[in-house]
Amino acid sequence: MLTGKQKHYLRGLAQTTKPLFQLGKNGLSQTYFEQIEEAIEKRELVKINLLQTTEVTVDELANFLKQHDNRIEIAQKIGRTLVVYKASRKEKYQKISTIVTKLGR
């Protein structure tokens, strides 16, 4: 669970980041989750935009991601955009998580 300071830091980083994924009329699938999982392992922070054509809500997407991996944290939900965070398991990709861990102390 992220603290307020950690979420604040992650939201600040996400503000300047463009959405890496878009969810459209094809909806949620295992393949979509695997692509997000692969990207989040390397980046630790991923921004997802829901297009107007999708029938999925931001809350449904957040629940879908949490069901598939309970280590994924929701940093921000705003409008049709979702920002998700997960600390990388590989040390060479742990850039954001080292700072987030320090903020949690």
pLDDT tens digits for 34-54?
999 999 999 999 999 999 999
The domain ranges of the chain are 4-97
Nearest residue to 61 (alpha-carbon basis) of 45, 44, 76: 76
The pLDDT score that the predictor gives to residue 83 is 97
pTM of the model: 0.90
Please list the residues that pair with 6 across neighbouring strands. Answer: none
Query: CB of 97 within 8 A of CB of 44?
Result: yes
When pLDDT is cut at 50, 70 and 90, the band that residue 105 belongs to is confident
Query: How would residue 15 be classed by pLDDT, with cut points 50, 70 and 90?
Result: very high
Determine the topology of domain 4-97 in CATH.
Translation Initiation Factor IF3 (3.30.110)
Average pLDDT over residues 73-92: 95
